[in-house]
Amino acid sequence: MKLTKKVTVDKSRGEKLVNTIKGQFNMLHSMDYYDDYEIEKMLLKQKELELHYIKNRFEFPKQYVQFSPSGADKCSRELFYKVNKATKDEQSSYPYQKRWTRNSTFVHEAVQRDLLYMEKMLPNPAFKVGRITEGIAKGLPAWEKNIQKYKVITWKGETFVLYGMVDAFLDYKDGSKVGFEFKTKSVTVDRVSKLKAPSISHKKQAIGYSLLFSPDEIVEGQPLVTPTTLDEYIIFYESVAKDEWRAGNFAADDMKAFYLNVTEKQKITLLDKMADVAARSGTGEAPDRKTSKCMFCNYKTICLDDVTL
């Protein structure tokens, strides 16, 4: 009964949150407005700080094995090679692929700008971007490098570091904080309009964020979901490719949003995976291959040559 109630509550809250954020984008993108002096000044300050981040690299303890939420769904064997600093394949990306990622990066920036303009242009927006309250990024948006952090975790006797950053933390009108992770797809608009759920890798990334950004310490045997953990995430997709200009009301949906409320079990599964790779990095025993993950793996050569399995 309790579980059914929780699932129903999650579903209706999730639907409300994703409809609201998508509605905010659609409302903003239906309006004409002028550039705002204060917002543009803030974005300029953000750019200045990004120069600082280029010169002053983010530091975290190097004596431990390191993981990041973006690698949460990777093949354990790939993570094993990475933590052992194995030789990577020679990079072989094509120029058009670089242009593909370059275009997505600029859409990413445009979305951040939209989030700030929503706050000014929409009447009573339910979501606003959180702000940094101290340090060199004070007053700037709670996003990306402004909020990058690491956490030293001990799990199943293994100590490792989890580090990373999330696209943004949004403040919802009821006082809660919701993580916002933005993803683009580039090939055809159908890749977004036909999406029924977020990809497993993006879900696992959000699970990693919940472990990293929750203020609570991670202690084995104690609850991992508490009133203070940051467990709600919106995974937001936009297709860089759009429907035909003339499609109008019949245009395929180029934006989709999904809600995830991270559970105790999901956190434990990810912690177990990281602890297992950390333990193997000590013994040198590589995990099994997961060949469904090979496409984006940079260790194909060493994996193929590795005859330990």
- Of the residues 17, 21, 72, 77, which one makes contact with ligand SF4 according to CB under 6 A: 77
Is the Cβ of residue 194 or residue 300 nearer to ligand SF4 in the bound state?
300
Q: Which stretch binds ligand SF4 (CB under 6 A): 17-25, 113-121, 158-166, 294-302?
A: 294-302
> Quick check: 191 binds ligand SF4 (CB under 6 A)?
no
CB of 201 to ligand SF4, least distance (A): 12
CB of 286 to ligand SF4, least distance (A): 8
Binders in 261-290 for ligand SF4, by CB under 6 A: 289-290
> Quick check: 87 binds ligand SF4 (CB under 6 A)?
no
- Of the residues 75, 118, 230, 262, which one makes contact with ligand SF4 according to CB under 6 A: 75
CB of 10 to ligand SF4, least distance (A): 32
* Contact indicator for 147, 169 with CB cutoff of 8 Å: yes
> Quick check: 293 binds ligand SF4 (CB under 6 A)?
yes
Taking the CA atoms of 267, 63, 304 and 97 in sequence, report the sign of the dihedral they define. Answer: positive
- Of the residues 303, 307, 308, 309, which one makes contact with ligand SF4 according to CB under 6 A: 303
> Quick check: 207 binds ligand SF4 (CB under 6 A)?
no
Is the Cβ of residue 137 or residue 303 nearer to ligand SF4 in the bound state?
303
Per-residue 3-state assignment (H helix, E strand, C coil) for the chain? CHHHHHHHHHHHHHHHHHHHHHHHHHHHCCCCCCCCHHHHHHHHHHHHHHHHHHHCCCCCCCCCEEECHHHCCCCHHHHHHHHCCCCCCCCCCCHHHHHHHHHHHHHHHHHHHHHHHHHHHCCCCCEEECECCCCCCCCCECCHHHHCEEEEEEECCEEEEEEECCCEEEEECCCCEEEEEEEEECCCCHHHHCCCCCCHHHHHHHHHHHHHHCCCCCCCCCCCCCCCCCCEEEEEEEECCCCCHHHHHHCCCCEEEEEEECCHHHHHHHHHHHHHHHHHHHHCCCCCCCHHHHHHCCCHHHHHHCCCC
Is the Cβ of residue 84 or residue 154 nearer to ligand SF4 in the bound state?
84
CB of 83 to ligand SF4, least distance (A): 12
Q: Which stretch binds ligand SF4 (CB under 6 A): 70-78, 194-202, 239-247, 269-277?
A: 70-78
CB of 290 to ligand SF4, least distance (A): 5
> Quick check: 88 binds ligand SF4 (CB under 6 A)?
no
- Of the residues 52, 98, 149, 300, which one makes contact with ligand SF4 according to CB under 6 A: 300
Q: How many residues bind ligand SF4 (CB under 6 A)?
A: 12
Binding site for ligand SF4 (CB under 6 A): 75, 77-78, 289-291, 293-294, 297, 299-300, 303
